[in-house]
């Protein structure tokens, strides 16, 4: 019995040391690592988006889309996991962009599939949601948006609003019309967000001319 007690104490001591070691690592040891994966649209995700953000008649087949699972930092600096649906031709570039943003600490409010908002672009933007694929027309036209091909991403749309004639349709975006007052979550020429997309050859809606700018918007052709 004495030997068993001694053995128990010994094992208990080892276990306690292991627990302390894990706790120390979680408490302040290891730096969070970026995670980014791409996979076909299948199962519950397919059921969720068919008839919502994707429907028959869309300019891209569902087989040409990919679901990205991405690590990002929120506005409090906490590590979160988000999802984007994108064109399969761009998944590697997009993962590279978000890996760079994660390392630089660029904050993102939230990153959820637009289907959470009934595939309603206005509702998604009002929630300050970063999103990509949505089979829809360019507002006010019958021309497919680059989002309908999964080849456009809108990031932090409240902080980076669509601006026309110096105005925005979202009241929460009004304070961000002044681009001279730079904040970490904004898309600014030469800063982290814009440079990350420049590095993969994507254009930015903040460079549009003619009095209209889409500051949240990034795509391969810039439109």
Rounded to whole angstroms, what are the CA distances from 175 to 30, 59, 128, 172, 211? 37, 36, 14, 7, 19
At 18, the pLDDT band (50, 70, 90 cuts) reads very low
- The pTM score is 0.85
Mean pLDDT of the chain: 89
Q: Are strands 65-73 and 79-87 parallel, antiparallel or unpaired?
A: antiparallel
Q: Would you state the pLDDT for residue 29?
A: 61
Q: Would you state the pLDDT for residue 4?
A: 44
Instruction: List CB contacts of 26: < 8 A, sequence separation 6 or more.
Output: none
Higher pLDDT, 201 or 13: 201
Q: Would you state the pLDDT for residue 30?
A: 80
Q: Would you state the pLDDT for residue 28?
A: 54
Tokens 């052709």 locate to 221
Q: Would you state the pLDDT for residue 114?
A: 98
Q: Which two tokens stand for residue 185?
A: 């979550």
Q: Would you state the pLDDT for residue 24?
A: 41
DSSP secondary structure of 53-75: TB-TT-SS-GGGEEEEEEEEE-T
Burial readout 36-63 (b: 16 or more C-beta within 10 A, e: otherwise): bebeebeeebeeebeebbbeeebebebe
Q: DSSP secondary-structure letter at 32?
A: P
pLDDT in tens, 162-212: 999 999 989 999 999 999 999 999 999 999 999 999 999 999 999 998 889
pLDDT in tens, 55-104: 999 999 999 999 999 999 999 999 999 999 999 999 999 999 999 999 99
């Amino acid at each position: 019995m004495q030997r068993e007690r001694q053995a128990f104490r010994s094992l208990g001591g080892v276990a306690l040391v292991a627990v302390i070691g894990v706790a120390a690592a979680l408490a302040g040891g290891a730096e969070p690592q970026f995670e980014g994966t791409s996979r076909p649209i299948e199962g519950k995700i397919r059921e969720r988006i068919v008839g919502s953000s994707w429907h028959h008649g869309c300019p891209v087949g569902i087989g040409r889309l990919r679901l990205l699972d991405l690590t990002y930092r929120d506005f409090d600096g906490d590590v979160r996991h988000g999802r984007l649906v994108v064109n399969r031709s761009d998944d590697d570039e997009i993962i590279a962009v978000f890996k760079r943003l994660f390392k630089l600490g660029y904050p993102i409010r939230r990153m959820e599939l637009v289907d959470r908002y009934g595939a309603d672009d206005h509702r998604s933007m009002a929630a300050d949601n970063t999103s990509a694929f949505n089979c829809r027309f360019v507002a006010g036209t019958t021309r497919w948006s680059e989002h309908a091909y999964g080849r456009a991403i809108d990031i932090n749309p409240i902080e980076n609003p669509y601006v026309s004639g110096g105005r925005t349709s979202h009241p929460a975006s009004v304070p961000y019309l002044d681009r001279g007052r730079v904040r970490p979550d904004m898309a600014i020429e030469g800063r982290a967000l814009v440079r990350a997309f420049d590095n993969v050859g994507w254009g930015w809606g903040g460079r549009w001319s003619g009095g209209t700018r889409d500051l949240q918007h990034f795509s391969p052709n810039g439109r």
